[in-house]
Amino acid sequence: MSVDQRLGEAGRMPADTRGTSRLSGETVTIGVIFALTVAMILGSRVISPAFGGWNQAETILYLASFLVFCSFGQGLVILVRGLDLSIASVITLGGVLTTTWLAGDNGDLVFILPAILVVCTLVGVASGIGVSLLKVPPFIMTMATGIIVYSLCLGVTRGTPRGYPAPVLNDVMRAELAGLPVPILVLAAFVAGGFLLQSYSTYGRRLYAVGNNPAAAHVVGLPTVRVTIGAYAISALCAGFTGIMLASYANGATLRMGDDYLLPSIAAVVVGGSSILGGKGNFLGTVGGAILLTTLATILSALGIEQGWKTIVEGGVILFALMVLREQVYEALRTWMGSERR
């Protein structure tokens, strides 16, 4: 008696397992990524007994949080078949504004922080308008806004950003609440909110629809232009937020502070199981991807490997992850499991 026969509707219809084998690719990806991360953290005990414990995990989460913030926005843009290359510049913008506008003073924090985020969001709105209304390819459009924003930062600061973020921000980055560093709590809240927005909100549903089939989305009457602009706006908002957090963490801003996040943000999204072609993906996967990349970087640094080799290993791991986590591999796995059952 095979499982199929028992599942078959009244024994008449052949069993149809297309939807029922819900060990979906996404779930597997996320599971594998987190398992890999935990394994790497535990395995790093070999390097030094100080590693592999909760302390190291905490450090990694702390460092990964910056990447998670900006990868969320990158993920939304990729979901609607785009790419946001302006992330590095907008992070810098957020950081530079934090230090110059606040200038080491707590005074107008409650007004200035939202103002910084609004300015950053407007950069994203501009990119989104270019992509959705003017039909400029996302790659070119975001590169252009990125260059413009960066050049503005360069011009206004004359090459050296001055000032400091508000001391309060600095304190927050070091504070602990209930035994956990505040930035990690912020990360947890951000992940929860981002996940809900992407997977369970009305806006999220529309994002997936537009990314999956823009022509059909238009025919169905979805506001495709608004949905697309929204994705770029959120991406810039997240990048600006990352800039504020980074400036607070480092107690200052530099013009190159965003550079280390552009390519990793794309890598985190793709390693996390999203399709670079849009329409498919899950924020939890991206979070896993970001943490995995950060873990890798941390361990490689700890090993004292030279920068060149370090980058080569990172690239290799990303490639490996992408090859292993492809759709075909699940298909093969499902076929194999299917044939085992009968």
Partner 1 sequence: MGSVAALAVAGLSKRYGATVALRSLTMRIVPHEVHAVLGENGAGKSTLVKILSGAVQPNSGTIELAGQPYAPRTLLGARRAGISTAFQELSLLPNLSVAENLLLPRVSGTRFWPEAAGSITRRAEAVLKEWAVTDIDPVARVEALSLAERQRLEIVRALSHRPRLLILDEPTAALPDATWLFRQVRRLTETGVAVLYISHRLSEVRELCQRATVLRNGESIDTVDLAGVKDDQIFAMMVGRAPERAYPAPVAAAAGAETLIEARGLTTGRLRDVSLSLKSGEILGVAALEGQGQLELFRALGGVGTHEAGEVRYNGRPVALTSPRRALRAGDGIAYVPEERKTEGIFGGLTAAANMSLPQVPRIARGGLIHHRLDVAATRTAAEAVSLADRYFGFRVSDLSGGNQQKVVLARALMTRARCLVMFDPTRGVDVGTKQAIYTMMRGFVADGRAILVYSSELSELVHLCHRCLVIYGGRIVADVGRDRLTEEYLLAAAHGHGGAAPLRAAS
Residues that bind partner 1 (CB under 8 A): 12-22, 196, 200-203, 205-206, 208-209, 212-213, 215-223, 279-280, 331, 334-335, 337-339
Would you say the C-alpha torsion 201, 204, 206, 209 has a positive or negative sign?
Answer: negative
- Of 110 and 215, the one with the shorter C-beta distance to partner 1 is 215
Q: Name the helix (H) or strand (E) containing 177.
A: strand 176-177
Backbone angles phi, psi at 176, to 5 degrees: -125, 150
d(CA 136, CA 139): 8
- Of 164 and 208, the one with the shorter C-beta distance to partner 1 is 208
- Of 176 and 327, the one with the shorter C-beta distance to partner 1 is 327
Smallest separation (angstroms) from partner 1 to the CB of 277: 10
Smallest separation (angstroms) from partner 1 to the CB of 331: 5
Name the token pair of 237: 């908002």
- Of 6 and 158, the one with the shorter C-beta distance to partner 1 is 6
Neighbours of 122 (CB within 10 A): 14
Smallest separation (angstroms) from partner 1 to the CB of 48: 44
Contact 54, 45 (CB under 8 A): no
Angle, helix 224-250 to helix 167-174, in steps of 10 degrees: 90
Backbone angles phi, psi at 17, to 5 degrees: -110, 15
Contact 298, 63 (CB under 8 A): yes
- Of 194 and 279, the one with the shorter C-beta distance to partner 1 is 279
Name the token pair of 7: 């599942």
d(CA 242, CA 247): 9
**List of residues 6+ apart from 328 with CB closer than 8 A:** none
Smallest separation (angstroms) from partner 1 to the CB of 231: 16
Angle, helix 283-302 to helix 54-79, in steps of 10 degrees: 130
DSSP-derived secondary structure letter, 15 = P
**List of residues 6+ apart from 309 with CB closer than 8 A:** none
- Of 19 and 308, the one with the shorter C-beta distance to partner 1 is 19
- Of 129 and 184, the one with the shorter C-beta distance to partner 1 is 129
Terminus-to-terminus CA distance in the chain, angstroms?
Answer: 9
DSSP-derived secondary structure letter, 11 = G
Smallest separation (angstroms) from partner 1 to the CB of 30: 17
Smallest separation (angstroms) from partner 1 to the CB of 336: 9
Contact 87, 235 (CB under 8 A): yes
Plot region of 10 (φ>0 → left; ψ -120 to 50 → alpha; else → beta): left
Smallest separation (angstroms) from partner 1 to the CB of 133: 13
Smallest separation (angstroms) from partner 1 to the CB of 268: 21
- Of 26 and 259, the one with the shorter C-beta distance to partner 1 is 26
Smallest separation (angstroms) from partner 1 to the CB of 14: 5
- Of 135 and 158, the one with the shorter C-beta distance to partner 1 is 135
